[in-house]
């Protein structure tokens, strides 16, 4: 399959040009992600719930179902939702303009017809004024060209984040895609418990029960444009005043994290290098101020 968007590693994708599709796809991934959430045992920091980048899109990976299993994939190149199972032929349907309500009903009814009955909390997470899935006729856009560009961006960020992950020998999350916040991220831990957060909900209490330095990329809802981020939780004193790379990176007091705009990355002479500079320099800044044992955590590939 030839695809015009595959010739550019980091294509332009301003949020304003695909926001309606972005928001619709976000809700679809929430539905699929919640199915994985309901069917899997809780893992630390919610590692049982994210999606993962594949050569063609996003996947739940294997989900247990009694003595059997199934998986749900977003194929963002052929624009299909694909369900595979260990006990029958599974099914697929086209990803095309449709309401969140229609997507929700179609997926759950087809799962049931194929012997998989699941119940989810059918309201989006991590959003202000969420619309129950069964009632959401607002979000219904699907721009295939924009989706393919989004996938291309995820594919390359996943690759760079995985390189960054190999440099750390301590506890580190997989590179994974959280459907609640619609971001791809990787998180490092120093093994210490974090102080409880005041008025934290259950999601936050579990996600931040240890000290972390987290890096990620999201398409820009709440900021206005796609960007990379880096934050330390709890944040050490002086983190906001640290000098980090590349020069375009800056600290957002509103979001309490360092940001690097996607446009600055894609226009850099070496986009991969710019991303790695951002990841490494923000990690070094946070680790220094919080007293992490960087030398012990550093992983050097054996000769």
Per-residue pLDDT tens over the stretch 188-244:
999 999 999 889 999 999 999 999 999 999 999 999 999 999 999 999 999 999 999
Q: Which pLDDT does position 7 carry in this prediction?
A: 63
Residue with tokens 């690097």: 260
Same domain as 282, residue 191: yes
Same domain as 123, residue 184: no
Token pair for 82: 């694909």
- Flag whether 5 is in a domain: no
Same domain as 165, residue 258: yes
Q: Which pLDDT does position 213 carry in this prediction?
A: 98
Same domain as 102, residue 159: no
Same domain as 269, residue 152: yes
Question: In the chain, which stretches have pLDDT less than 70?
Answer: 1-7
Q: Which pLDDT does position 289 carry in this prediction?
A: 98
Tally of structural domains, the chain: 2
- Flag whether 83 is in a domain: yes
Same domain as 173, residue 119: no
Q: Which pLDDT does position 301 carry in this prediction?
A: 82
Q: Which pLDDT does position 285 carry in this prediction?
A: 98
Residue 48 domain boundaries: 14-135
d(CA 175, CA 181) in angstroms, rounded, equals: 15
d(CA 153, CA 261) in angstroms, rounded, equals: 13
- Flag whether 6 is in a domain: no
Q: Output the DSSP codes for 177-203.
A: EETTTTEEEEEEEEEEEPPPPTT--HH
Same domain as 148, residue 127: no
Same domain as 113, residue 180: no
Same domain as 166, residue 122: no
Q: Which pLDDT does position 1 carry in this prediction?
A: 40
- Flag whether 2 is in a domain: no
- Flag whether 234 is in a domain: yes
Same domain as 165, residue 117: no
- Flag whether 177 is in a domain: yes
- Flag whether 3 is in a domain: no
Same domain as 227, residue 279: yes
Per-residue pLDDT tens over the stretch 136-148:
999 999 999 999 9
């Amino acid at each position: 399959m030839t695809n015009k968007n595959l010739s550019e590693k980091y294509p332009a994708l301003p949020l304003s040009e695909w926001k309606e599709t972005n928001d619709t796809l976000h809700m679809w991934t929430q539905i699929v992600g919640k199915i994985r959430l309901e069917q899997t045992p809780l893992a630390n920091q919610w590692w049982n719930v994210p999606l993962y980048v594949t050569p063609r899109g996003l996947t739940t990976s294997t989900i247990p179902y009694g003595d059997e299993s199934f998986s749900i994939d977003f194929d963002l190149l052929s624009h299909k939702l694909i369900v595979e199972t260990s006990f029958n032929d599974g099914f697929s349907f086209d990803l095309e303009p449709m309401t969140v309500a229609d997507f929700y009903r179609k997926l759950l009814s087809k799962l049931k017809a194929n012997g998989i009955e699941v119940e989810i909390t059918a309201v989006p997470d991590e959003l202000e004024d969420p619309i129950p899935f069964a009632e959401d006729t607002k979000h219904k856009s699907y721009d295939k060209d924009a989706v393919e560009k989004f996938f291309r961006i995820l594919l390359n960020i996943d690759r760079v984040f995985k390189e960054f992950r190999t440099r750390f020998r301590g506890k580190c999350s997989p590179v994974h895609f959280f459907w609640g916040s619609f971001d791809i991220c990787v998180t490092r831990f120093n093994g210490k418990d974090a102080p409880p957060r005041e008025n934290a909900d259950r999601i936050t209490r579990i996600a931040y029960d240890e000290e972390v330095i987290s890096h990620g990329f999201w398409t820009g809802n709440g900021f206005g444009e796609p960007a990379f981020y880096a934050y330390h939780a709890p944040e050490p004193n002086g983190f906001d005043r640290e000098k980090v790379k590349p020069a375009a990176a800056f600290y957002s007091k509103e979001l309490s994290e360092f940001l690097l705009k996607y446009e600055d990355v894609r226009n850099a002479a070496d986009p991969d290098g710019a991303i790695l500079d951002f990841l490494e320099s923000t990690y070094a800044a946070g680790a220094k101020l919080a007293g992490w044992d960087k030398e012990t955590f550093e992983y050097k590939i054996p000769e």
